Each structure stands twice: as structure tokens, then as C-alpha cells.
Structure 1
Amino acid sequence: MKLTILGGAGVRTPLFVQGILKLSSDLGIDEVHLMDSDADKLGLIGFIIEEMVTHAGNPFHVKFSTDAREAIEGADFVVSALRVGGLEGRVIDETVPLRHGVIGQETTGPGGICMGLRTIPVMLRYAKLIRELAPKAWLINFTNPSGMITEALLSHGGMTRVVGVCDGPSSMFHKLAVALGIDESRAYFDYFGLNHLGWLRAVYVDGQDVLKDVLAGLDDPTVRERLREVHEISIFGAGFVKELGMIPNEYLYYYYYNREALEHIRSAKVTRGQFLLRTTTDLLRRLRAAKAKGDACLALKEYTEYIDTRHRMYMRTETGADLETGATAQGGSDGQQAPANGEDGGYDRIALGVMKAIRLNLNQVMVLNTRNDGAVSGLDPDCVAEVPCIVNANGLRPLTLGAVPGEGLGLMQIVKECEKLTIKAAVTGSYNAAWKALAIHPLVPSAAVAREILDEYLRQHGAVLSHIRR
């Protein structure tokens, strides 16, 4: 079996390869092909990966290439992990809205819209190559914004074998199961939403909802202490989660605590993107030095330290911590710690879980980004939602969730409309569609501000947004 990774020079790729090494025998993987347009960075990340594969006894052949056709041809699975515009682009996405008094975040609000505008055309070109060179391949999309990109591939990329993955829901489920002392494999997590915009409304064990009573008891300090490692309860505050009656995905912090998040980000010394650009640039410098010495062990050590720091600082700025000092973040009104979570850990586990379920026909239930197909009442059947799915050799099918709470559905509907307009703008080059997507987004205060943000994005991003025309 051939597995191709597009964007193979990404700093998370060694984590993914580590997961592949554990499952390569079960999945029958004999070739992993890493493709990236940045040959220098691919050589540095590849230096680490070659050491990992060699240390594991070379269970599969690993290749590196800047040629997308060579990498994709004959693949059984293609994993997309692209960042069009690099971390420099992320910095623009985050800092432009901040200058206009709007949340600057990679996948949420203006930042997510801008990322979609420049990424969708690139992903559609890769989709064309996959249809030509690997027509039976499954495309597993890591590329953010995952739900929007997946919808663009389904609606405009001529693809049916595509799924978007995010580890946010499963990370929440795991920590909650540990906190409640339940067997995660026996539980059904009733989750609904869009990517980075979802809610957990029940947890069923042996037919009984064990979450309902827990949320009702959040006034009890003993219950709060028991759940303190559940990141989402920590950052939103137990009082708000109890009132909501559901556990929100962490990215809903930007909606429920918009003013606080904006204040935290603006008062921080650096944005998340600037922090990652600085630390990743430093990592590449260190890897280059280790490679020049031929010291793969040193390269692995430098990489491990980088990943540990990256994980530890996740979502610290937004919740009020200092990225420079690593001071503890405080959440909601309860002052509980918000541990590192989500951005880097787990994508490999979800992607490999999808591959395993398809390859071995496991009938696994997983929360994934796929065509809604009636799963959530009130959303178009053809739009992409993030919902529990049955995954087996026939692919994936969303479970029917029916009606969902109005406070969730209303927000999903308007954000989904923003996503559709962003896809339209990316495909047609329509300036007005891009402007409207920004103007109607709940995090953008006015159409005038939306136009100012869009115009500044177009100036700063240059060539990667040159397809958007007035």
C-alpha cells in the first residue's frame, strides 16, 4: 500500500510517521512518499524521518519529492497537510484583523476565511491530479480550515473519497472518559457541529447518558476538581458549561468569550502565529546544524524539545497566558487551568484510524468532517458537517442526529453560509463574495470593517490571493 503526504515538510509530519510506524504492518504499508514544494525544509524534516524509519527496522520504503505527480501516482491514501503561504501567511491572517479590533485566529473568523481563499485553489489542483493519477485513493484532509476545504473538494473538486479530520472532538472525549472513569470504547459521544464549531450534548454508556448529571453537578467543587483536566470545561468555566448543558469545542471560546479573547491576544507580546514562526525558524536552524554534523540523534532531540514547547503553549494567548513566560492560562469565571491541547497532538491518530477502519472494514464510529447527508436537521444535505460517522470498507456514513439545540444550529447556519461564500470566492475569484463572507461573520462587527480587512489581506498576501478580483 502506498501512502502519500502532501505538505510532507510540515513540522507535524514526524509525529504522523511515528504513528505510521506503529500500524504499517496492520495496514500493509510498504511505501510512504513525502511531497513538498520546499526542498530545503523537506530535506531537514526528512533527515529526522529517515532516522526514525531506520531505527524501526525499515518496515517500509520512504521517498521524498518536490514532484506532486510522482508522489500521487498509484497512491492508495493521500494525506493533505498543506499551509499555503507558510507561517508568514498565518501571521498576516492573525495580525490584520487585530488592527481592526477583530479576533485574529488561524481558522476562525477572518483568518479562517483568508486561509480558505488562498488554499482552496491549490487543493483543487491537487484533487485534479488525484483523479488522474490515483482515482481510487482516499484523500484524508488535515489542511485547515478542514471542514471548508473538505466541502470545496466535494463540491468543486470532483471527489467523493475525501474526509476531513480534526482531533479536537476525540481529545475532548478521551479526557472526559478518563475524568469520569468510563471505558471510552463502550461509550457513544453525541457530538454535533462544524469543524472548530461543535458541541458534546450527551455521553451514553450502556444506554444511559452519564454526562447530564455531571453537568448538572458542576456547582459542586468536588465535581469540578474531578473534571479539571477536561480542557473545554476549564477555559469556558464550569458555571457557563452547566448553564449551556453541553460541552463546547474549545474554538467556541472566540464566540462565547469574544471580548476577553480579543483583549488577551492584543495584550500578548506575540500572536500564536508569530510565536510559531519564531520557534519553527529556530528549529530549522538547529536541524540544519545537526544535519551538517550528520547527527540524527541531535536532530531528534531538537525536534522533540520543539514539539514539547509547541504543545505546552497551545491556546495560551487567547485564554490569557503569556507565550513568552508560559504562565498558566485562566479559564472562564472559575480560574481553572487550561492545559495544552489540540493543535498538534492526535491528527495522526485520527487519520490512521480512518485508514485502518476502511482498510480492515472495522465499522468504527469516529467524528469526522463529511457530507451532512441529513445527519443534522437544519443544515443542507450537501454541506460538510463534523459528526459521528460509521467508517468501514465502504467508506463513511454520518449517523443521523436529528434536531439539535437552536443556539448551536443558528451559529452553525451563519458560519456555514460564510464558508459557502468563501468557497465561491476562491473558485470564481469574486471580491464581492469574499467581502460578504467577512461581512456576515459573527466575529466581524460591520461590512465596512470587513472591506478594510479584505483589502489589507489582498495587499499583504499578494500573489497567493491574486485570483480575488474586484
Structure 2
Amino acid sequence: MKLAVVGGGSTYTPELVDGFARLRDSLPVEELVLVDPAADRLELVGGLARRILARQGHPGKVTTTSDLVAGVEGADAVLLQLRVGGQAARLQDETWPLECGCVGQETTGAGGLAKAMRTVPVVLDIAEQVRRHAPGAWIIDFTNPVGIVTRALLQAGHRAVGLCNVAIGFQRKFARLLDVEPEQVHLDHVGLNHLTWERAVRLGGPDGADVLPRLLAEHGDAIADDLHLPRPVLDRLGVVPSYYLRYFYAHDAVVEEMRTKPSRAAEVAAMEKRLLEMYADPALDEKPELLAKRGGAFYSEAAVALAASLLRPAAVPDGGRIQVVNTYNNGTLPFLPDDAVVEVQAAVDGSGAVPLPVPPLDPLYAGLVAHTTAYEDLALEAALRGGRDRVFAALLAHPLVGQYAQAEALTDRLVAHNREHFAWA
């Protein structure tokens, strides 16, 4: 089995490789190809990847290349984890929206739109090469904003599923709090990528007892602290929102906080510098503890589980492994178009991902989901076709913007900071 990782020079990659090594029985990778144009980073990461596999006795081969075609040729699955513009572009995405009184964040708000517009055309070009040189391969997208990028891939006819680590992070956290194995925890996880809620936490499977009320009663303070939300908010909602709902539920407070603290981009850039220094050490043969602070916790487990499910035969007797993924709505949330991309539990096998039935969504959440989906429609249109008017329309439609003066000012800044990425600008 051959897997290719586009963006393989990322400091995330050792987390992924560690998962391939530990979970080899689930996903027997024979060749892992790391593809990245940054040759210096790629060799450091590739060297550590080989040492990780060797330490754990994994027989797989790790190769590195800057040649996309050679990297994906004949692959069974291609994982996308690229960042167009690098950390420098992320720093801009987190900075200029604050000048207009809006959240500066790389996956939502104006910064998220900028990232989508830089990323979608590049990902679609990569996917076309996959279609030509690995026509049977599945594309697993971990590149943010996952919902918009996955929708672009699906609409272009690619075999693609989007993946985020928020759900598996909650599953692992709740399992620790409940003192059970993670596999016993089944989430009623619903919404859009980075706009989700855990409405129930069931033990044993989709029909198990809901222990979310117990979790909130016994561990509400710890959960609220992790989310940086007040405990009474969780008590009133009776659900656990993703961390990203903080940008909606406490927008103005977050903006003030962002104006006074170092940006996450600056923190990550410093962390990446240190990680690459560590990766250069030929004695290092395991992922360092510092990597856990980089983000992407449990990414490897989620990626291995998804790839293993997609690469097994279709129509298996158990109906496919259940996992939270990003895929077409297809009636799952009836108030959204079928071609919207939702993040829900789905049965996954060699034929793709089929969402499980979802109980009706309360208007408190459905309204925000519908609003954000409308923004995503316009964001994808702007990413695919360009043009200042499309950028403005997407920003005006975003729940975190919504005022014409702000949308105008943000449009000016978005275009100014991204001209090198936009052929039309």
C-alpha cells in the first residue's frame, strides 16, 4: 500500500508517521511518500520519519520528493495537509482583520476566507494530478478550511473526504473523564467544520445511554476552561460546543484578547523553528513532546482510521466504520442544500462516507449553521472565480462580519495582503 502526504514537510508529519507505525495492523503502509516543495524541511522531517518507523520495527519505506507527480503516482490514498503562504500568510490572516474590529483567525472570519481563496485553487490543481496519476486514490483533506476545501474537491468530482481532529479530541477527552476506552464513546457531533456541537455522549454505540448531563455536572468546569467559555454557558446550552464557537459566542471579548496577546501564528512559528531543530538531531527517533502543543492532537489516529476504512472493500457486512468526517450533506440536515458539506458521524468504507441519521437540530444551532453555509457558498465562489465583488459578498454574508463598512474595509485588506496569490488582483 502506498500513501502520499502532500505537505509532508510539515512539522505535523511525525505525529502522522507515529500513528502509521503504532497502528500498522489497521493500515499496512508499505511506502510512505512525503511531498513538499521545501526541500530543507522535507529532509529533516523525512529523516525523523524513517527513524520513527525503524524504532518501532515498521518495515515500510519512507521517500521524499518535491515532484508532485512522482509522489502521488500509483498511490492508494493521498493526504493533503498543506499551508499555502506558510506561517507568514497565517500571521497576516490573524492580524489585519483586527484592524477592522473582527476576529483574526486562520479558519474563520475574514482570515479564513483569505486562506480558502489561497488554498482552493492549489488543492484543485493537486487533485487533478491525483486523478491523472492515481485514478483510484482517495483524497483525505486535512487542509483548512476543511469544509470549503472538501466541498471544492467533491464538486470537481474527486474521491475525497474531509477530516478534522476536533471530534476525536473530544472523544479522547470524554473517555478520560469517564474512565473508559475511547472506542466506547460515541458522539452526537453535528454541524459544519469548526462549527460543531456535541449534543450527546453515548456509551457503547449510537444507541447507548447519554452521559453528557453527567459529564457537565461532574466536569463542567474543566470542560469550560478548555473551551475558554464560562461554565454557565455550557449549563444553559446543555451541549459542548467546539472551541471555535468561542469566536461567535464571545466575538468582541476575543477581539480584545487578540489585540493584547501574541498571535497564535507567532507562537507556532517559534515552535516550528524549535521542532525543526529537534528533527535535525539524528538521535531523535520518536515524536517530541513539544509536538503536542503544535496542534493536531490525535490527527494520526483519525487519519489512520479513515484511510483504513476507505481502502477496504465497499459494502462490508457491518456497514462501514463509524467516524466523524466532512462530506456531502445529502439530506442529513434537511434545511441545507444536498451539496453542502457537513461534519457528522458517518459510516465509511471503500465506497465513501454515508452520514448517519441526525436528530433535528435546534434553531439555536440550525440558524448559525444555515448562515455559515450561505457564507461558504459565496466563499467557494470567490475562491474559484475571484473578483473583489465576490470577496465583498462573502464577507458581508459571514456571521462574524455582516456590516457593509466592515466588509469593504476587510475586502481592501484581504486583497492587498494576498495579491501574489490571486491572478485576478
Instruction: Report the TM-score, using the length of structure 1 for normalisation.
Output: 0.84
Q: Residue 304 of structure 2 corresponds to which residue in structure 1?
A: 352
Question: Structure 1 pair 258/132, CA: closer, same or farther in 2 (3 Å)?
Answer: same
Q: Residue 345 of structure 1: SS of its match in structure 2?
A: coil
The one-letter amino acid of 2:114's match is: C
- Which of 288, 292, 295 aligns to 1:304? It is 288
- Which of 238, 244, 248 aligns to 1:255? It is 248
Question: Structure 1 pair 300/446, CA: closer, same or farther in 2 (3 Å)?
Answer: farther
Q: Residue 97 of structure 1: SS of its match in structure 2?
A: helix
Mapped pair 1:467 → 2:419? no
Q: Residue 16 of structure 1 corresponds to which residue in structure 2?
A: 16
Within-5 A mapping of 1:165-204: 165-182=163-180, 184-204=182-202
Q: Distance in 2 between matches of 1:109 and 1:247?
A: 21
Q: Distance in 2 between matches of 1:272 and 1:417?
A: 28
Q: Is the 8 A contact 2:115 2:145 kept in 1?
A: yes
Question: Structure 1 pair 173/67, CA: closer, same or farther in 2 (3 Å)?
Answer: same
Q: Is the 8 A contact 1:95 1:104 kept in 2?
A: yes
Q: Is the 8 A contact 1:228 1:234 kept in 2?
A: no
Q: Residue 442 of structure 1 corresponds to which residue in structure 2?
A: 399
Greater mean deviation of Cα atoms: 6-15 or 49-58: 49-58
Q: Say what the alpha-carbon RMSD is for the aligned residues.
A: 2.1
The one-letter amino acid of 2:200's match is: A
Q: Is the 8 A contact 1:167 1:350 kept in 2?
A: yes
Q: Distance in 1 between matches of 2:241 and 2:253?
A: 17
Q: Is the 8 A contact 1:440 1:447 kept in 2?
A: no
Q: Is the 8 A contact 2:227 2:246 kept in 1?
A: no
Question: Structure 1 pair 307/181, CA: closer, same or farther in 2 (3 Å)?
Answer: closer
Within-5 A mapping of 1:409-448: 409-444=366-401, 446-448=403-405
Q: Is the 8 A contact 1:422 1:434 kept in 2?
A: yes
Q: Could you tell me how far 1:205 is from its partner in structure 2?
A: 3.7
Q: Residue 24 of structure 2: SS of its match in structure 1?
A: helix
Q: Could you tell me how far 1:58 is from its partner in structure 2?
A: 4.9
Mapped pair 1:280 → 2:272? yes
The one-letter amino acid of 1:356's match is: A
The one-letter amino acid of 1:130's match is: V
User: Identity of paired residues, percent?
Assistant: 32
Per-residue CA shift, 1:126-159, capped at 9, x if unaligned?
111111111110101010011110001111x321
Greater mean deviation of Cα atoms: 232-241 or 406-415: 232-241
Question: Structure 1 pair 232/176, CA: closer, same or farther in 2 (3 Å)?
Answer: farther
Instruction: Report the TM-score, using the length of structure 2 for normalisation.
Output: 0.92
Q: Residue 34 of structure 2: SS of its match in structure 1?
A: strand
Q: Residue 322 of structure 1 corresponds to which residue in structure 2?
A: none
Q: Could you tell me how far 1:452 is from its partner in structure 2?
A: 1.7
Q: Residue 43 of structure 1: SS of its match in structure 2?
A: helix
Q: Could you tell me how far 1:182 is from its partner in structure 2?
A: 4.9
Q: Distance in 2 between matches of 1:350 and 1:229?
A: 24
Q: Residue 83 of structure 2: SS of its match in structure 1?
A: coil
Q: Is the 8 A contact 1:24 1:59 kept in 2?
A: no
Per-residue CA shift, 1:209-228, capped at 9, x if unaligned?
4246437xx5xxxx34x344
The one-letter amino acid of 2:388's match is: Y
Q: Distance in 2 between matches of 1:231 and 1:369?
A: 25
Structure number with greater CO (CA < 8 Å, separation at least 6) is 2
Mapped pair 1:243 → 2:236? yes
Greater mean deviation of Cα atoms: 173-182 or 94-103: 173-182
Q: Could you tell me how far 1:237 is from its partner in structure 2?
A: 2.5
Question: Structure 1 pair 419/58, CA: closer, same or farther in 2 (3 Å)?
Answer: same
Q: Is the 8 A contact 1:79 1:139 kept in 2?
A: yes
Within-5 A mapping of 1:23-422: 23-155=23-155, 157-159=156-158, 161-182=159-180, 184-205=182-203, 207=207, 209-211=209-211, 213-214=213-214, 223-224=217-218, 226-230=219-223, 235-268=228-261, 270-284=262-276, 286-287=277-278, 291=280, 295-297=281-283, 299=284, 304=288, 306-308=290-292, 310-311=293-294, 343-360=295-312, 363-422=320-379
Aligned length: 418
